Amino acid sequence: DAGVTQSPTHLIKTRGQQVTLRCSPKSGHDTVSWYQQALGQGPQFIFQYYEEEERQRGNFPDRFSGHQFPNYSSELNVNALLLGDSALYLCASSLRTGRVAFFGQGTRLTVV
Amino acid sequence: AQSVTQLGSHVSVSEGALVLLRCNYSSSVPPYLFWYVQYPNQGLQLLLKYTSAATLVKGINGFEAEFKKSETSFHLTKPSAHMSDAAEYFCAVVNSGGSNYKLTFGKGTLLTVNP
């Protein structure tokens, strides 16, 4: 049973660029959430997607956007990258109730 | 609003000793509570969860936690630490119902196990 998979595992981008991160949910799950984990901190909720729509959003600027596809996979897009966007980005999947989340290995984004 | 406080950013124990990681939460509605473990350069692995059934929950790798509503606590314990338990541990809370699906995490506790 495949768990949550994320790609790429590492990424280096320059300030001002745009980035797309990808996530495939655990088999049987239809809901995907994204979290940002800065160094030495706990994860912070970015948003959650269900039925291809953003169901809930955390306190992140509009530069952060996402998408969910009919196969439930998801993308996180970040525009106009800032140095402060450097972090581990975690994808979590769950059933539609959205309460019990299983996480992927994360994508380490470094902005230089 | 929800919040999680993990007391002690760093806990150090000897191999074979009791592990106790503390978590207190604040929630205006009945919560679900979780403990996750994170090994270096990896994602989060679910250790155990409280979802309003038994208040004493058992998880993987010999860990367990007890939900105490009166104390708003969900402390994580393991009777005997193993070297492989060295990692960062996160406590998290989410609403058990309604339209708020956001997991709120504590800042984490780094567990060191000494030989």
Residue A70's pLDDT band, with cuts at 50, 70 and 90, is very high
Residue A98's pLDDT band, with cuts at 50, 70 and 90, is low
- Tokens of residue A78, six digits: 């970040």
Contact yes or no for B90 and A43 at CB 8 A: yes
Cβ–Cβ under 8 Å, residues B111 and B83: no
H or E stretch including B26? strand B19-26
Distance CA A43, CA B92 (A): 10
Q: Which of A43, A56, A108 sits opposite B100 (nearest CB)?
A: A56
Residue of chain A with shortest Cα separation from B98: A97
pLDDT score recorded for residue A112: 97
Select the more confidently predicted residue: B35 or B41: B35
pLDDT per residue as tens digits for the range B73-98: 999 999 999 999 999 999 999 988 88
pLDDT score recorded for residue B30: 87
CB pairs under 8 A between A and B: 64
Contact yes or no for A43 and B44 at CB 8 A: yes
pLDDT per residue as tens digits for the range A102-111: 999 999 999 9
Instruction: Identify the three-state secondary structure at position B28.
Output: coil
pLDDT score recorded for residue B53: 79
Residue A99's pLDDT band, with cuts at 50, 70 and 90, is confident
pLDDT per residue as tens digits for the range A2-35: 799 999 999 999 999 999 999 999 999 999 999 9
| A1 pLDDT more than 70 | no
Contact list in A for residue B36 (CB cut-off 8 A) is 103
Contact list in B for residue A101 (CB cut-off 8 A) is 34, 46, 103
Burial class (CB in 10 A: 0-12, 13-18, 19+), B10: exposed
Q: What mean pLDDT do residues B12-34 have? A: 95
Contact yes or no for B49 and A103 at CB 8 A: no
Distance CA B91, CA B37 (A): 9
| B1 pLDDT more than 90 | no
Q: Cβ contacts of residue A38 below 8 Å, gap of 6+? A: A44, A86, A87
